Structure 1
Amino acid sequence: MSLFELTGFQRDLLYVIAGLDKPSGQMVKERIERDIGEVKHGRLYPNLDTLVDRGFVTKGQHDRRTNYYQISEAGIQALQQRQAWESQFLDAE
């Protein structure tokens, strides 16, 4: 599975999750809203679930009401591969 199969929003979520320590869905929402504006609950959680289903993110529980998200090893590798792919175009002269 590669990041090419994800939407841009899903890739953005993956970067946000990678930069935080076991964030809750609400923490992810607040952080991404700083950059892109309001994100509806109905958009956020299905996309987080997709990242979990595809193995890029793991999901656990802080407590009975609050889940957390953590980037998986597959997610880290996918981000690194994506960065290498992007760099070939940015570094080209």
Structure 2
Amino acid sequence: MHDLTGFQRDLLYVVAGLDEPHGLAIKDELEQYYTSEIHHGRLYPNLDTLVEKGLIDKGELDQRTNYYTLTHRGTRELEARREWETQYVGQS
């Protein structure tokens, strides 16, 4: 997780929070957070990087639409990140 960009971490959190989202659903969620347009040229290469790193899986809904799910490794990485963040931010 330490080698991911902030955008890639955000992608991971969005995939974890949605039920088998497709690329446009992920894009919509991120655009609400970033309040700016997320271009396909940024979104899909970063999703592919997360797939290559074994953090998410990519499945096919139809010939034009893929969906994404968090892998066990992705879940472990998010949990470890949360624990690390808690050391510094703490719980109220």
TM-score range, shorter chain: over 0.9
Give the aligned residue type for 1:14.
L
Q: Measure the CA separation in 2 of the matches of 1:32 and 1:74.
A: 22
Using the size of structure 1 for normalisation, the TM-score is: 0.94
Query: What secondary structure is seen at the aligned counterpart in 2 of 1:68?
Result: strand
Deviation at 1:90, TM superposition (A): 1.1
Residues 48-90 of structure 1: CA distance to partner in whole angstroms, max 9, x if unpaired?
0000000000000011110000010100000000000000011
Give the aligned residue type for 2:83.
A
Partner of 1:55: 54
Percent of aligned pairs sharing the same letter: 52
Partner of 1:11: 9
Give the aligned residue type for 1:15.
Y
Q: Measure the CA separation in 2 of the matches of 1:90 and 1:42.
A: 33
Say which of 14, 28, 33 aligns to 1:30: 28
Using the size of structure 2 for normalisation, the TM-score is: 0.95
Unpaired runs of 5+ residues, structure 1, are none
Partner of 2:90: 91
- The CA RMSD measured in Å over matched residues stands at 1.0
Unpaired runs of 5+ residues, structure 2, are none
Deviation at 1:91, TM superposition (A): 2.0
Structure 1 runs (4+) deviating above 4 angstroms are none
Q: Measure the CA separation in 1 of the matches of 2:72 and 2:24.
A: 23
Query: What secondary structure is seen at the aligned counterpart in 2 of 1:4?
Result: coil
